[in-house]
Structure 1
Amino acid sequence: MRRVHVLAVAAATCVAFAAAGATAQSVRGVSKTEIVIGMHTDLSGPAASYGVNSSNAMRMRIDEVNAHGGVHGRKIRLIVEDNQYQVPRAVQAANKLLHRDKIFLMAGALGTPMNNAVLPEQLKEHVPNMFPLTSARQMYQPLNPLKFAALSSYYDQMRAGLAWMVANKGKKRICALYQDTDFGKEIFEAARDQTKAMNMPLVEVATNKPADTDFTAQITKLRAANCDLIASGSIVRDAIVPYATARKMGWTEVDFLGQAASYDQIVASAPGGVTEGFYTMAGTVLPYRDTASPEVVAWMDRYKEKFGSEPNIGAVYGYSLMDLVIAGLDRAGKDLNVDKFIKAMESIKGYRDMFGGPVTSFGPNKHQGSNESFLFQVHNGRFVMIAGPVNYSS
């Protein structure tokens, strides 16, 4: 009987050790030697300038950390899938990352509709969505332990910018021109809510399809309403064309105000200077080599040497977001799992990137790092900061 009892205890002990081992191995995307991070982004479609540069900069930050032994002895491995800025391809890419690659977290995923399409399955798999490259409010609302956004939303930016333009430029007749998409709707809602908060009417609205190339009808409609400020729900090309159309038609007394999706050097340096004077809000700062700090210039040099091109705003986003992810992984400790990582991220306070972006802090009930924005205007082919950081409650 004693022998049976000893064998039973030994068997139970083996089962306990096996269960403990299974628990340790059940943290998807985490092994003794590596942490696997996934990203679906545009590498070959209309937003490839964001996708290529952001993924390159993420790799650059990862390589720096891995060269010093990784995080608590684990190297980071980034798997990037091309979604070509198409929802079906994003779903396909995410399914591979979630179910075949078994990633620990998703970082820097590009596009509002792409993230919205992927998130239900991703959250079901208990995979954090860290700092996607979209400023849509859905990336942190409603509050979910697995959703984190670093910067101000399109909504925050537009409300802050409209408030500033009314207070400092005396604007009285606000209108809106926006894409007939979920992205554009957020700009309209910001214009509607901010004008209401200031006891002003939203005088007129016009919409466009993302692929539109002729804005004559929209600009004619808004001009007839005598707008003096247009809230622009545009990305890149549809920021340039309507502004250039208004100026070509001789409508020079109206100002246009964009947001982070139009904060791209392509807009500022449009041929012929057609965007000169265009205003836009953004959640961070695009550096220029001749005005950047020595630290940022050194970073730009390293990026160019590594990838053969100058970094753009996408690279700024990618490097900063990966730096934040690495900070969270480090704080989570060696015994890494999703819950510890989330708590570690929620403990980050007062973070600021080297580019001069806003102070970023998180908490258990705060998964948006900052709601502050910066106001820029195009002068001589580049964005010049006019004000910031600002928010619409200030």
Structure 2
Amino acid sequence: MRRVSVITAAAAAGLAVTAGSVQAQSVRGVSKDEIVIGMHTDLSGVAASYGVHSSNAMRMRIDEVNAAGGVHGRKLRLIVEDNQYQVPRAVQAANKLINRDRIFLMAGSLGTPMNNAVLPDQLKAGVPNFFPLTAARQMYQPFHRLKFAGGASYYDQMRAGLKWMVANKGKKKICSLYQDTDFGKEIYDAAVDQTKAMNMPLIETATNKPADTDFTAQITKLRGAGCDLIASGSIVRDAILPYATARKMGWNDVDFIGQSASYDQIVAGAKGNVTEGFYTMAGTILPYRDTAAPHLAAWMDRYKEKYNTEVNIGAIYGYALMDQVVIGLDRAGKNLTLDSFIKGMESIQGYRDIFGGPVVSYGPDKRQGTDESFLFVVKNGRFEMVAGPVNYGS
């Protein structure tokens, strides 16, 4: 009897192990020793500075976690596909990640139109989309249990910035210059809604194509309207050019305010200091090595040693978003499933990244981590914080 009992116990243990293995294998992108994460981003196109650095920093956080044993014994593996900041390539890349690589989740994917094109099939396949590198409202609206956006939207940022500029700088004649794209429409909507909330008119608007290089007509139009503040729906190059054009034309009594898409050191460090005095909102804080706190300086040095390049804002976003993914996976427990991961993410309350970004919280009915952002101004080739964190509701 004793021998039978021993054999039975061993068999039961074997069945338990087998059941555990089957369970792990039944969850896409999850095995007993690995979790597969996907990312489609720009590695060789117009936004490669974001894509390369954000994916680098995500790998850096993953390497740290894996060196410490992984998450509940599972190592993380990141598969990055180059979308070249083009919608067709993003769709192709996402199809590979979802259908061939069988990823568990998508994280840090770059671009509003790229995410919008990919999301319907991605969500249908049951693949969460976490902290895409776009601040478009579509990344958390309408509500979907698989959509998590980490920061304040472009809309949130611009409304908060306009409110602050009116209250603190006495601005009275607000205008908007924005890209004739879905991204630019976010800025226009924010300008319309915030001026309405403050019982002010939106004095004038002008638009541009992303590839425009001559802004003389737009600046002449806005100057003729007497604007004293321009809500800028720009990214990098088209943040620099219109501002520089206005100053070159001698229009110095107007301020421009951008949002996180123009919070890039390329803007602050533009040749000839042509962006001096440019205001912008941003969802986090870019540290400078010579003024950074010791822990941040050490992190920046590790990044440079690992990738032989300086940190940029993409790296800040990449590291912070992967840190949140790790927390969600850890809280999901060893028996990782889609549902347990979602519950793990929803349990994150009061998170703050190592860079001093805003407090982030999720919940069963909350998919936007925060609506708070920071206001910066360019001084001596750097972004200097003016206020924050702020939002338009407070």
* Structure 2: distance between partners of 1:19 and 1:27: 13
Q: SS of the residue aligned with 2:192?
A: helix
Alignment of 1:157-236 (within 5 A): 157-236=157-236
Q: Give the distance between the partners of 2:52 and 2:393, measured in 1 at CA.
A: 35
State the distance in 2 between where 1:289 and 1:19 align. 51
Matches within 5 A, 1:1-20: none
Name the amino acid aligned to 1:166.
V
- Is 1:371 aligned to 2:375, yes or no? no
What is the CA distance between 1:15 and its match in structure 2? 12
For residues 202 and 214 of structure 2, the distance between their equivalents in structure 1, rounded to whole angstroms, comes to 24
Counterpart of 2:251 in structure 1 is: 251
Q: Secondary structure at the match of 1:157?
A: helix
Q: Match for residue 6 of structure 2?
A: none
* Conservation of the 8 A alpha-carbon contact between 2:21 and 2:31: no
User: In structure 1, what is the equivalent of residue 290 of structure 2?
Assistant: 290
State the partner residue of 1:66. 66
SS of alignment partner, residue 46 of structure 2: coil
Partner secondary structure for residue 359 of structure 2 = coil
Any idea what the Cα deviations from partners look like across 1:170-201, whole Å, max 9, x if unmatched? 00000000000000000000000000000000
For 1:9, the equivalent position in structure 2 comes to none
- In 2, the alpha carbon distance for the partners of 1:68 and 1:364 equals 30
SS in 2 for 1:292: coil
1:61, distance to aligned residue in structure 2 (A): 0.3
* d(CA) in 1 for partners of 2:147, 2:330: 19
Judged with a 3 Å threshold, the aligned counterparts in structure 2 of structure 1 residues 23 and 72 are, in CA distance, closer, same or farther, namely: closer
Q: Deviations over 1:341-361 (max 9, x none)?
A: 001100000000110100101
Corresponding position: 1:316 with 2:324: no
Does residue 347 in structure 1 map to residue 337 in structure 2?
no
Alignment-derived partner of residue 327 in structure 2: 327
* 3-state SS of paired residue (2:378): strand
1:280 aligns with 2:280: yes
Is the 2:240–2:275 Cα contact (8 Å) retained in structure 1? yes
Tell me the secondary structure at the aligned position of residue 40 of structure 1: strand
Task: Give per-residue Cα distances to partners, 1:209-256, cap 9 Å, x unaligned.
Answer: 000000000000000000000000000000000000000000000000
The corresponding residue for 1:270 is: 270
Paired with 2:17 and 2:223, the residues of 1 have a C-alpha distance of 74
Q: What residue is the counterpart of 1:28 in the other structure? A: 28
1:126 aligns with 2:121: no
Give the TM-score of the pair, scaled to structure 2.
0.95
Q: Which residue of 1 aligns with 2:82?
A: 82
Q: Per-residue deviation at 1:26? A: 1.4
Give, in angstroms, the shift of residue 331 of structure 1: 0.4
CA distance in 1, matches of 2:45, 2:231: 27
CA deviations on 1:93-149 (whole Å, 9 max, x unpaired) are 000000000000000000000000000000000000000000000001111110001
- Residues 1:96 and 2:128 aligned together: no
How far apart, in 1, do the equivalents of 2:36 and 2:22 lie?
18
CA offset at residue 64 of structure 1? 0.3
Distance 2:223 2:360 in 1: 40
2:135 is aligned to 135
CA RMSD of aligned residues (A): 1.4
Contact 2:157-2:282 at 8 Å conserved across structures: yes
Bigger drift between 101-110 and 290-299 goes to: 290-299
- Deviation (angstroms), 1:291: 1.6
Q: Which moved more, 1:167-176 or 1:284-293?
A: 284-293
Q: What secondary structure sits across from 2:386 in the alignment?
A: strand
Corresponding residue for 1:305? 305
Q: Quote the residue 1:6 is aligned against.
A: none
Q: Distance in 1 between matches of 2:18 and 2:121?
A: 30
Query: Structure 1 counterpart of 2:224, which letter?
Result: A
Q: Is the 8 A contact 2:230 2:255 kept in 1?
A: yes
**Pairwise CA distance, 1:21:** 5.7
What is residue 357 of structure 1 aligned with on the other side? 357
User: How many pairs does the alignment contain?
Assistant: 381
The one-letter code of the counterpart of 1:174 is: I
The verdict on how the C-alpha distance between 1:16 and 1:331 changes in structure 2, with shifts beyond 3 A counting, is closer
In the other structure, the counterpart of 2:10 is none
Cα distance in 1 for partners of 2:297, 2:210 equals 35
Helix, strand or coil at the partner of 1:322: helix
Identity among equivalent pairs (%): 80
In structure 2, what is the Cα distance between the partners aligned to 1:389 and 1:193?
A: 21
Distance in 1, matches of 2:374 and 2:17, equals: 54
Please give the per-residue CA displacement for 1:143-174, whole angstroms capped at 9, x wherever unaligned. 11100011100000000000000000000000
- Partners in 1 of 2:44 and 2:366 — Cα distance? 34
Pair 1:131–1:257, CA change in 2 (3 A): same
1:373–1:320 Cα change, 3 Å: same
Distance 2:121 2:243 in 1: 39
> Match for 2:318: what amino acid?
G
Show structure 1 runs of 5+ residues with no match.
1-13
Tell me the distance in 2 between the aligned counterparts of 1:143 and 1:249. Answer: 46
Once residues 236 and 263 of structure 1 are traced to their aligned partners in structure 2, the CA distance between those partners, rounded to angstroms, is 8
- Following TM superposition, by how much is the alpha carbon of 1:393 offset from its aligned partner in structure 2, in angstroms? 1.1
Q: Which amino acid aligns with 2:43?
A: L
Pair 123,172 (structure 1): closer, same or farther in 2 beyond 3 Å: same
Matched residue type, 2:234: S
Residue by residue over 1:319-347, the C-alpha shift from the partner in whole angstroms, topping out at 9 and shown as x without a partner, is: 00000000000000000011110011000
SS in 2 for 1:192: helix
- In the TM superposition, residue 24 of structure 1 has moved relative to its aligned partner by 3.6
Q: Aligned partner of 2:280: which letter?
A: T
Q: Which runs of 5+ in 2 are unaligned?
A: 1-13
Residue 56 (1) aligns with residue 56 (2): yes
The structural deviation recorded for 1:282 is 0.4
Q: Give 1:290 shift.
A: 1.6
